[in-house]
A = this chain, B = another copy of it.
């Protein structure tokens, strides 16, 4: 059953993030196989497998939280990439960051906009 959670999580991770997702988990497994396993089981097998939110809402919430957190550029860029994978439009990602400017100010939101720009450039997609 623990295996069930892991398998469901691994499938969900692959569906969302493909090979990039696998590489992230491999990178953690080198230093902590259990932390890697918890990410798959809890992060993807439990939480990302909940039926209640659609993937677009999930990803915009994740982008909002990581923008606010700061100092989490690798995660922010990874989840901007997943957002694109699940069909969120680049412009929606940008709008979410713009929406947070009055809440969080320009220091955090300009950094997030730069992260979005890097991901968009690597994917060769453009907002609007």
**Does A103 lie within 8 Å of B65, measured CB to CB?**
yes
User: Which residues of the other chain, B, contact A86 by a CB distance below 8 angstroms?
Assistant: none
How many copies of the chain does the oligomer comprise?
6
User: Which residues of the other chain, B, contact A60 by a CB distance below 8 angstroms?
Assistant: 57, 60-61, 64
Q: Which residue of B lies closest to A118 (CB)?
A: B31
Interface size class of A (residues with CB under 8 A): 35 or more
Distance from A24 Cβ to chain B, minimum over Cβ atoms (Å):
8
Q: Identify the A interface with B (CB < 8 A).
A: 1-2, 4-5, 27-28, 30-32, 34-35, 38-39, 42-43, 46-48, 50, 52-53, 57-58, 60-72, 74-75, 91-92, 94-111, 113-114, 116-117, 120, 127
17 further A-B contacts with Cβ under 8 Å, apart from A31-B114, A70-B70, are A34-B98, A35-B97, A39-B106, A43-B106, A47-B98, A57-B60, A58-B99, A60-B64, A61-B64, A64-B65, A66-B103, A69-B70, A69-B103, A69-B108, A70-B71, A71-B111, A72-B107
